[in-house]
Amino acid sequence: MKNLKKIAITLLVLFMLVPSFVFANSVEETPELKAKIENIVKTMPEDKAIDAIEELFGENNTFYFSNSFLRSINNFAIYKLDSENISKSEKAFNENSYIEVEDGFVNIYLETQYMSYLGKKADVTKVTVLGKSGKKYEGVIGNTKPAIQGTGKQVPADITIKVPVSEIENGIGNYNSTLKVQFETNLRDSFSILGGIFPDAMINPKARLAFNK
């Protein structure tokens, strides 16, 4: 009975804390905020503009209380393109996703889930591997599902990509191989007046798939 009381108290505390984490970056879309973001985009380099916009939304302090936070990918990670930090794009794929190298090809299977960003929810709509040769390898959509925004649109439920091992680049962290990749999302659909002014790299980010061959 004492243990049950402790569990109940712990759960109560967690639920009391959820709003302060989940909605900390819930920002009202206003003409004033739009003007501020437009000024940031016009006056700053893209990477600095993204940092500044994320700061406006409290993105760096956000705790993702969703399925994506609980996901654990077994054999690969997704890193930012220009740093050794994990990309937020990793939150867009669940634990059934994997990468394997076989018979001279990298076989990529990505099973999607919504991701939270800037206080909104979005889906990945397209994945393209950018080979070191300059060739692009577009993901093949398998099953589809309704978009998270409830717009009636369909988005990929799973995506597969086959890439020759000759396109593999140097590894990072605990992984000996990487592939550059670009994700397209429907994040703009989650905003009423702000979606069209965000830098494209926020909506359709580039990153690196890191894995072992």
Q: Which residue has the tokens 């503009």?
A: 49
- Please choose, from the candidates 88, 152, 160, the residue with its C-alpha nearest in 3D space to the C-alpha of residue 120: 88
Residue 155's DSSP bridge partners are 145
CA 192 to centroid of chain Cα atoms: 21
* CA–CA distances in Å: residue 64 to residues 4, 60, 108, 155: 27, 11, 25, 22
- In this structure, of 67-71, 102-106, 154-158, the range with the lowest mean pLDDT score is 67-71
pLDDT at 20: 32
pLDDT tens-digit map of 36-64: 999 999 999 999 999 999 998 888 654 43
Residue-level pLDDT at 64:
38
* pLDDT, tens digit, 9 for 90 and up, residues 15-26: 333 333 333 445
Beta bridge partners, 89, equal: none
- Percentage of the chain modeled with pLDDT above 90: 69
